Protein backbone atom coordinates (compact mmCIF):
# COMPACT_ATOMS: atom_id res chain seq x y z
CA UNK A 1 0.00 0.00 0.00
CA UNK A 2 1.22 3.51 -0.86
CA UNK A 3 -0.51 5.62 1.76
CA UNK A 4 -0.61 9.34 1.02
CA UNK A 5 -3.43 10.22 3.41
CA UNK A 6 -1.12 11.85 5.96
CA UNK A 7 2.44 12.17 7.21
CA UNK A 8 1.11 11.02 10.60
CA UNK A 9 1.16 7.48 9.15
CA UNK A 10 4.95 7.29 9.38
CA UNK A 11 6.14 4.43 11.59
CA UNK A 12 8.97 4.91 14.08
CA UNK A 13 12.37 3.98 12.62
CA UNK A 14 14.35 0.98 13.96
CA UNK A 15 16.71 3.44 15.72
CA UNK A 16 13.73 5.07 17.42
CA UNK A 17 12.38 1.72 18.58
CA UNK A 18 15.73 0.83 20.08
CA UNK A 19 16.10 4.20 21.79
CA UNK A 20 12.55 3.91 23.20
CA UNK A 21 13.26 0.48 24.64
CA UNK A 22 16.48 1.59 26.30
CA UNK A 23 15.49 5.09 27.47
CA UNK A 24 16.30 6.23 31.01
CA UNK A 25 12.96 7.27 32.48
CA UNK A 26 11.33 8.67 35.61
CA UNK A 27 7.97 10.08 36.66
CA UNK A 28 7.47 13.23 34.60
CA UNK A 29 4.62 14.58 36.75
CA UNK A 30 7.32 14.78 39.44
CA UNK A 31 9.55 16.31 36.72
CA UNK A 32 11.98 13.44 37.16
CA UNK A 33 12.24 11.99 33.68
CA UNK A 34 15.75 12.67 32.36
CA UNK A 35 15.01 11.79 28.72
CA UNK A 36 11.96 14.00 28.65
CA UNK A 37 13.91 16.88 30.16
CA UNK A 38 16.52 16.45 27.47
CA UNK A 39 13.88 16.62 24.73
CA UNK A 40 12.25 19.71 26.27
CA UNK A 41 15.63 21.43 26.53
CA UNK A 42 16.41 20.65 22.90
CA UNK A 43 12.97 21.90 21.77
CA UNK A 44 13.42 25.14 23.72
CA UNK A 45 16.87 25.63 22.21
CA UNK A 46 15.69 25.02 18.63
CA UNK A 47 12.78 27.44 18.96
CA UNK A 48 14.81 30.02 20.91
CA UNK A 49 12.42 29.91 23.88
CA UNK A 50 13.19 29.69 27.61
CA UNK A 51 11.24 26.54 28.19
CA UNK A 52 9.27 23.70 26.58
CA UNK A 53 6.65 21.14 27.51
CA UNK A 54 6.01 17.70 26.01
CA UNK A 55 2.35 16.96 25.23
CA UNK A 56 0.63 13.87 23.80
CA UNK A 57 -0.77 15.59 20.70
CA UNK A 58 -0.77 18.77 18.67
CA UNK A 59 -4.41 19.30 19.53
CA UNK A 60 -3.66 19.26 23.24
CA UNK A 61 -0.65 21.51 22.68
CA UNK A 62 -2.77 24.13 20.92
CA UNK A 63 -5.54 23.84 23.51
CA UNK A 64 -3.31 24.33 26.53
CA UNK A 65 -1.52 27.17 24.75
CA UNK A 66 -4.82 28.99 24.26
CA UNK A 67 -5.83 28.19 27.87
CA UNK A 68 -2.49 29.53 29.10
CA UNK A 69 -2.82 32.83 27.20
CA UNK A 70 -6.53 33.52 27.70
CA UNK A 71 -9.18 33.91 30.39
CA UNK A 72 -12.78 32.75 29.90
CA UNK A 73 -14.60 35.17 27.60
CA UNK A 74 -11.45 36.42 25.87
CA UNK A 75 -11.41 36.52 22.09
CA UNK A 76 -8.90 34.84 19.78
CA UNK A 77 -8.32 35.93 16.18
CA UNK A 78 -7.58 33.04 13.82
CA UNK A 79 -7.97 31.93 10.23
CA UNK A 80 -11.19 30.36 8.99
CA UNK A 81 -9.13 27.55 7.45
CA UNK A 82 -6.93 27.03 10.49
CA UNK A 83 -6.60 23.60 12.06
CA UNK A 84 -7.42 25.02 15.50
CA UNK A 85 -10.74 26.32 14.21
CA UNK A 86 -11.66 23.48 11.84
CA UNK A 87 -10.30 20.30 13.36
CA UNK A 88 -9.88 20.58 17.11
CA UNK A 89 -13.48 19.91 18.18
CA UNK A 90 -14.01 23.51 19.26
CA UNK A 91 -11.85 22.82 22.31
CA UNK A 92 -11.03 26.43 23.05
CA UNK A 93 -14.71 27.26 23.54
CA UNK A 94 -15.91 23.91 24.89
CA UNK A 95 -13.16 23.60 27.49
CA UNK A 96 -11.77 27.12 27.85
CA UNK A 97 -14.78 29.39 27.36
CA UNK A 98 -12.63 31.24 24.83
CA UNK A 99 -14.33 32.97 21.91
CA UNK A 100 -12.90 32.24 18.43
CA UNK A 101 -13.22 35.02 15.85
CA UNK A 102 -12.35 33.74 12.41
CA UNK A 103 -10.94 35.89 9.64
CA UNK A 104 -10.73 34.65 6.03
CA UNK A 105 -7.33 33.13 5.29
CA UNK A 106 -5.57 34.23 2.12
CA UNK A 107 -4.67 31.39 -0.30
CA UNK A 108 -1.14 31.32 1.11
CA UNK A 109 -2.29 30.79 4.70
CA UNK A 110 -1.68 34.37 5.83
CA UNK A 111 -4.29 36.63 7.42
CA UNK A 112 -4.54 40.12 5.93
CA UNK A 113 -2.80 42.46 8.40
CA UNK A 114 -5.26 45.38 7.98
CA UNK A 115 -8.16 43.01 8.66
CA UNK A 116 -6.48 41.66 11.79
CA UNK A 117 -5.88 45.20 13.02
CA UNK A 118 -9.46 46.22 12.27
CA UNK A 119 -10.77 43.20 14.16
CA UNK A 120 -9.06 44.01 17.45
CA UNK A 121 -11.79 45.09 19.86
CA UNK A 122 -11.92 48.51 21.44
CA UNK A 123 -12.44 48.64 25.18
CA UNK A 124 -16.20 48.65 25.55
CA UNK A 125 -18.57 47.10 28.07
CA UNK A 126 -20.23 45.18 25.21
CA UNK A 127 -17.08 43.53 23.87
CA UNK A 128 -14.93 40.57 24.78
CA UNK A 129 -11.25 41.34 25.19
CA UNK A 130 -9.09 40.45 22.18
CA UNK A 131 -6.16 38.57 23.67
CA UNK A 132 -4.49 36.31 21.16
CA UNK A 133 -3.73 35.80 17.46
CA UNK A 134 -3.20 32.22 16.24
CA UNK A 135 -1.13 31.60 13.11
CA UNK A 136 -0.40 28.29 11.40
CA UNK A 137 2.93 27.43 9.73
CA UNK A 138 2.98 25.52 7.44
CA UNK A 139 -0.69 26.13 6.74
CA UNK A 140 -2.22 22.69 6.26
CA UNK A 141 -5.47 23.70 4.51
CA UNK A 142 -3.81 26.41 2.44
CA UNK A 143 -1.72 24.02 0.33
CA UNK A 144 0.80 23.41 3.13
CA UNK A 145 2.16 26.92 2.55
CA UNK A 146 5.03 28.19 4.68
CA UNK A 147 4.54 31.68 6.16
CA UNK A 148 7.66 33.81 5.71
CA UNK A 149 9.68 35.28 8.58
CA UNK A 150 8.91 38.76 7.16
CA UNK A 151 5.17 38.13 7.44
CA UNK A 152 5.57 36.70 10.94
CA UNK A 153 7.60 39.80 11.90
CA UNK A 154 4.93 42.23 10.68
CA UNK A 155 2.24 40.30 12.56
CA UNK A 156 4.41 40.36 15.70
CA UNK A 157 4.82 44.14 15.38
CA UNK A 158 1.06 44.55 15.06
CA UNK A 159 0.41 42.29 18.05
CA UNK A 160 2.91 44.17 20.16
CA UNK A 161 1.41 47.54 19.24
CA UNK A 162 -1.97 46.32 20.56
CA UNK A 163 -0.73 44.28 23.51
CA UNK A 164 -1.79 40.94 22.01
CA UNK A 165 0.03 37.60 22.13
CA UNK A 166 0.77 35.30 19.21
CA UNK A 167 0.46 31.52 19.32
CA UNK A 168 1.96 29.63 16.41
CA UNK A 169 0.43 26.29 15.43
CA UNK A 170 3.60 24.86 13.95
CA UNK A 171 2.50 21.24 13.60
CA UNK A 172 4.74 21.21 10.48
CA UNK A 173 7.07 24.01 11.54
CA UNK A 174 10.17 22.10 10.43
CA UNK A 175 8.69 21.67 6.96
CA UNK A 176 8.37 25.45 6.80
CA UNK A 177 11.96 26.02 7.91
CA UNK A 178 13.31 23.45 5.44
CA UNK A 179 11.21 24.86 2.57
CA UNK A 180 12.40 28.41 3.32
CA UNK A 181 15.96 27.22 4.04
CA UNK A 182 16.11 29.00 7.41
CA UNK A 183 16.39 27.96 11.06
CA UNK A 184 13.06 27.45 12.82
CA UNK A 185 14.11 30.13 15.28
CA UNK A 186 13.77 32.72 12.49
CA UNK A 187 10.03 31.91 12.53
CA UNK A 188 9.45 31.23 16.22
CA UNK A 189 11.10 34.45 17.43
CA UNK A 190 7.96 36.24 16.21
CA UNK A 191 5.58 34.16 18.35
CA UNK A 192 5.04 34.13 22.12
CA UNK A 193 4.27 30.43 22.07
CA UNK A 194 4.71 27.69 19.52
CA UNK A 195 3.47 24.12 19.21
CA UNK A 196 5.17 21.67 16.88
CA UNK A 197 4.58 17.95 16.20
CA UNK A 198 7.11 15.14 16.33
CA UNK A 199 4.58 12.63 15.05
CA UNK A 200 4.11 13.87 11.47
CA UNK A 201 6.92 14.08 8.92
CA UNK A 202 9.51 13.74 11.69
CA UNK A 203 8.30 10.14 12.16
CA UNK A 204 8.11 9.84 15.96
CA UNK A 205 5.16 7.71 17.10
CA UNK A 206 3.66 10.18 19.59
CA UNK A 207 4.08 13.69 20.83
CA UNK A 208 4.28 17.43 20.33
CA UNK A 209 6.01 20.27 22.14
CA UNK A 210 4.80 23.60 23.38
CA UNK A 211 7.52 26.23 23.75
CA UNK A 212 7.48 29.68 25.31
CA UNK A 213 8.81 31.71 28.22
CA UNK A 214 9.22 30.19 31.68
CA UNK A 215 6.02 31.69 33.12
CA UNK A 216 3.96 30.60 30.16
CA UNK A 217 5.28 27.04 30.32
CA UNK A 218 4.56 26.91 34.05
CA UNK A 219 0.91 27.77 33.36
CA UNK A 220 0.88 25.33 30.43
CA UNK A 221 2.21 22.54 32.69
CA UNK A 222 -0.67 23.09 35.07
CA UNK A 223 -3.20 23.25 32.23
CA UNK A 224 -1.74 20.06 30.77
CA UNK A 225 -2.37 18.35 34.13
CA UNK A 226 -5.92 19.73 34.16
CA UNK A 227 -6.80 18.23 30.78
CA UNK A 228 -5.25 14.91 31.75
CA UNK A 229 -2.00 15.19 29.79
CA UNK A 230 0.43 14.73 32.68
CA UNK A 231 2.33 11.56 31.82
CA UNK A 232 4.56 9.33 33.91
CA UNK A 233 7.50 7.50 32.27
CA UNK A 234 7.03 9.49 29.07
CA UNK A 235 10.77 9.43 28.43
CA UNK A 236 10.13 6.30 26.37
CA UNK A 237 8.26 8.56 23.93
CA UNK A 238 10.73 11.41 24.28
CA UNK A 239 13.55 9.07 23.22
CA UNK A 240 11.95 8.78 19.78
CA UNK A 241 11.30 12.53 19.78
CA UNK A 242 15.00 13.28 20.31
CA UNK A 243 15.86 11.23 17.24
CA UNK A 244 13.10 12.98 15.30
CA UNK A 245 14.59 16.39 16.11
CA UNK A 246 18.20 15.40 15.68
CA UNK A 247 18.06 13.18 12.60
CA UNK A 248 14.79 13.57 10.73
CA UNK A 249 14.61 17.28 9.89
CA UNK A 250 17.08 17.39 6.97
CA UNK A 251 15.31 14.63 5.09
CA UNK A 252 12.03 16.59 4.94
CA UNK A 253 13.39 18.18 1.79
CA UNK A 254 13.02 14.80 0.06
CA UNK A 255 9.30 14.89 0.86
CA UNK A 256 9.11 18.39 -0.63
CA UNK A 257 10.90 17.23 -3.79
CA UNK A 258 8.55 14.26 -4.06
CA UNK A 259 5.52 16.53 -3.62
CA UNK A 260 6.81 18.79 -6.39
CA UNK A 261 7.39 15.80 -8.65
CA UNK A 262 3.95 14.31 -8.01
CA UNK A 263 2.31 17.71 -8.56
CA UNK A 264 4.13 18.17 -11.84
CA UNK A 265 3.06 14.74 -13.10
CA UNK A 266 -0.56 15.08 -11.97
CA UNK A 267 -0.92 18.61 -13.38
CA UNK A 268 -0.25 17.23 -16.86
CA UNK A 269 -3.12 14.71 -16.66
CA UNK A 270 -6.46 15.69 -18.25
CA UNK A 271 -9.18 15.62 -15.61
CA UNK A 272 -6.94 16.82 -12.81
CA UNK A 273 -6.88 20.45 -11.73
CA UNK A 274 -3.78 21.28 -9.79
CA UNK A 275 -1.81 24.49 -9.42
CA UNK A 276 1.82 23.43 -9.23
CA UNK A 277 3.00 26.88 -8.19
CA UNK A 278 1.14 26.41 -4.89
CA UNK A 279 3.09 23.31 -3.90
CA UNK A 280 5.85 24.41 -1.55
CA UNK A 281 6.18 21.69 1.09
CA UNK A 282 4.94 18.09 1.41
CA UNK A 283 1.20 18.61 0.82
CA UNK A 284 -0.63 18.76 -2.49
CA UNK A 285 -4.29 19.41 -3.20
CA UNK A 286 -6.07 18.75 -6.48
CA UNK A 287 -9.54 18.60 -7.97
CA UNK A 288 -10.91 15.79 -10.06
CA UNK A 289 -12.92 16.83 -13.06
CA UNK A 290 -13.71 13.69 -15.02
CA UNK A 291 -16.87 12.85 -17.03
CA UNK A 292 -17.09 9.23 -15.80
CA UNK A 293 -15.49 9.11 -12.37
CA UNK A 294 -16.71 10.85 -9.24
CA UNK A 295 -14.68 11.33 -6.05
CA UNK A 296 -15.79 8.19 -4.23
CA UNK A 297 -15.25 6.01 -7.30
CA UNK A 298 -11.79 7.50 -7.73
CA UNK A 299 -10.88 6.57 -4.13
CA UNK A 300 -12.12 3.00 -4.66
CA UNK A 301 -10.23 2.62 -7.94
CA UNK A 302 -7.06 3.84 -6.26
CA UNK A 303 -7.48 1.55 -3.28
CA UNK A 304 -7.95 -1.43 -5.57
CA UNK A 305 -4.53 -0.49 -6.93
CA UNK A 306 -2.99 -0.19 -3.42
CA UNK A 307 -2.98 3.61 -3.21
CA UNK A 308 -4.70 5.70 -0.54
CA UNK A 309 -5.30 9.45 -0.59
CA UNK A 310 -7.72 11.66 1.30
CA UNK A 311 -10.85 13.29 -0.10
CA UNK A 312 -11.23 16.54 1.85
CA UNK A 313 -14.32 17.85 -0.01
CA UNK A 314 -16.40 16.19 -2.74
CA UNK A 315 -13.97 15.81 -5.66
CA UNK A 316 -11.12 17.56 -3.82
CA UNK A 317 -8.15 15.47 -2.73
CA UNK A 318 -5.12 15.85 -0.52
CA UNK A 319 -1.94 13.83 -0.85
CA UNK A 320 0.84 14.15 1.73
CA UNK A 321 4.38 12.99 1.04
CA UNK A 322 6.42 11.45 3.83
CA UNK A 323 9.34 9.16 4.70
CA UNK A 324 7.56 5.99 3.66
CA UNK A 325 6.85 7.11 0.11
CA UNK A 326 9.83 6.77 -2.22
CA UNK A 327 10.54 8.52 -5.50
CA UNK A 328 9.67 5.28 -7.34
CA UNK A 329 6.34 5.12 -5.53
CA UNK A 330 5.61 8.70 -6.58
CA UNK A 331 6.13 7.59 -10.19
CA UNK A 332 3.82 4.62 -9.58
CA UNK A 333 1.08 6.85 -8.17
CA UNK A 334 1.31 9.24 -11.13
CA UNK A 335 1.27 6.39 -13.65
CA UNK A 336 -1.64 4.68 -11.92
CA UNK A 337 -3.74 7.86 -11.90
CA UNK A 338 -2.86 8.52 -15.53
CA UNK A 339 -3.85 5.01 -16.47
CA UNK A 340 -7.19 5.18 -14.61
CA UNK A 341 -8.25 8.56 -15.97
CA UNK A 342 -6.82 8.45 -19.48
CA UNK A 343 -6.76 4.78 -20.50
CA UNK A 344 -9.25 2.74 -18.49
CA UNK A 345 -12.13 5.22 -18.20
CA UNK A 346 -11.65 7.65 -21.07
C1 LIG B 1 -2.06 17.64 12.79
C2 LIG B 1 -2.22 19.07 13.12
C3 LIG B 1 -2.53 19.47 14.43
C4 LIG B 1 -2.91 18.49 15.54
O5 LIG B 1 -2.01 17.52 15.83
P6 LIG B 1 -2.51 16.11 16.45
O7 LIG B 1 -1.24 15.56 17.00
O8 LIG B 1 -3.06 15.34 15.30
O9 LIG B 1 -3.51 16.41 17.50
C10 LIG B 1 -2.60 20.81 14.69
N11 LIG B 1 -2.38 21.72 13.73
C12 LIG B 1 -2.09 21.38 12.46
C13 LIG B 1 -1.83 22.44 11.46
C14 LIG B 1 -2.01 20.04 12.11
O15 LIG B 1 -1.75 19.71 10.85
Ligand 1 atom at minimal distance to the Cα of residue 59: 9
Q: Regarding beta strands 208-212 and 51-55, do their DSSP bridges make them parallel or antiparallel, or are they unpaired?
A: antiparallel
Ligand 1 atom at minimal distance to the Cα of residue 62: 10
How far apart are the C-alpha atoms of 272 and 307, rounded to whole Å?
Answer: 17
Name which residue sits closest to atom 5 of ligand 1, judged by CA: 58
How far apart are the C-alpha atoms of 242 and 251, rounded to whole Å?
Answer: 15
Is 2.30.30.100 the CATH number for 252-345? no
What residues does 53 pair with on adjacent strands? 210
Element (H, E) at 100: strand 99-103
**pLDDT (0 to 100) of residue 333:** 98
Q: What spacing in Å lies between the alpha carbon of 71 and ligand 1's midpoint?
A: 23
Question: Is-contact 256 179, C-beta < 8 A?
Answer: yes
Query: What are the tens digits of pLDDT across the range 161-188?
Result: 999 999 999 999 999 999 999 999 999 9
How is residue 128 annotated by DSSP? P
Q: Where are the domains of the chain?
A: 10-247, 252-345
Pocket of ligand 1 contains residue 169 by CB under 6 Å: yes
Pocket of ligand 1 contains residue 83 by CB under 6 Å: yes
> Measured on CA atoms in the order 241, 246, 247, 250, is the torsion positive or negative?
positive
**pLDDT (0 to 100) of residue 343:** 87
How is residue 316 annotated by DSSP? E
**Among candidate residues 173, 225, 178, 174, the one with its CA nearest the CA of residue 53:** 225
**pLDDT (0 to 100) of residue 345:** 81
Question: Is-contact 282 320, C-beta < 8 A?
Answer: yes
How many CB atoms sit inside 10 A of residue 126's CB? 6
**pLDDT (0 to 100) of residue 346:** 74
Name which residue sits closest to atom 6 of ligand 1, judged by CA: 58
Q: Is 70 exposed, middle or buried (0-12, 13-18, 19+ CB in 10 A)?
A: buried
Pocket of ligand 1 contains residue 59 by CB under 6 Å: yes
Q: Do domains 10-247 and 252-345 have the same CATH topology?
A: no
Q: How far apart are the first and last CA of the chain?
A: 25
Q: What spacing in Å lies between the alpha carbon of 59 and ligand 1's midpoint?
A: 6
Contacts of 138 (CB under 8 A, 6+ apart): 109, 144, 145, 146, 147, 172, 173, 175, 176, 179, 280, 281, 283
Three-state DSSP at 122 gives coil
Query: What are the tens digits of pLDDT across the range 45-74?
Result: 999 999 999 999 999 999 999 999 999 999
Pocket of ligand 1 contains residue 175 by CB under 6 Å: no
Whether residue 160 has a cis bond before it, omega within 30° of 0: no
∠272-84-9 over CA atoms, to 5°?
Answer: 55
Q: What spacing in Å lies between the alpha carbon of 58 and ligand 1's midpoint?
A: 5
Name which residue sits closest to atom 4 of ligand 1, judged by CA: 58
Mutational pocket test of ligand 1: of 171, 191, 209, 210, the residue with most ligand atoms within 8 Å of the beta carbon:
171
Show pLDDT as tens, one digit a residue, over the chain (346 residues): 999 999 999 999 999 999 999 999 999 999 999 999 999 999 999 999 999 999 999 999 999 999 999 999 999 999 999 999 999 999 999 999 999 999 999 999 999 999 999 999 999 999 999 999 999 999 999 999 999 999 999 999 999 999 999 999 999 999 999 999 999 999 999 999 999 999 999 999 999 999 999 999 999 999 999 999 999 999 999 999 999 999 999 999 999 999 999 999 999 999 999 999 999 999 999 999 999 999 999 999 999 999 999 999 999 999 999 999 999 999 999 999 999 999 888 7
How far apart are the C-alpha atoms of 19 and 243, rounded to whole Å?
Answer: 8
Q: Is 246 exposed, middle or buried (0-12, 13-18, 19+ CB in 10 A)?
A: exposed
What would you report as the CA-atom Rg of the chain, rounded to the nearest whole angstrom?
Answer: 21
Region class of 241: left (phi > 0), else alpha (psi between -120 and 50), else beta: alpha
CATH topology classification for 10-247:
3.40.640
Amino acid sequence: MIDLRSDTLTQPTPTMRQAMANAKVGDDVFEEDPTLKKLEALAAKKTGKESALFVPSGTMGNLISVLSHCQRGDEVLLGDRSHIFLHEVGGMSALGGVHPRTLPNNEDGTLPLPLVEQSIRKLDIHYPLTRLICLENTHNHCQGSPLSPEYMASMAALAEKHGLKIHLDGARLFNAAVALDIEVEALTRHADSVMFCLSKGLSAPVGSLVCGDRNFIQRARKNRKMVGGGMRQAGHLAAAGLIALENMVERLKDDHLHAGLLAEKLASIDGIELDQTQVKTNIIFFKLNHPKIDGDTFLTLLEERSIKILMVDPGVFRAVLHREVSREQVQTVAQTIHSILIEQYK
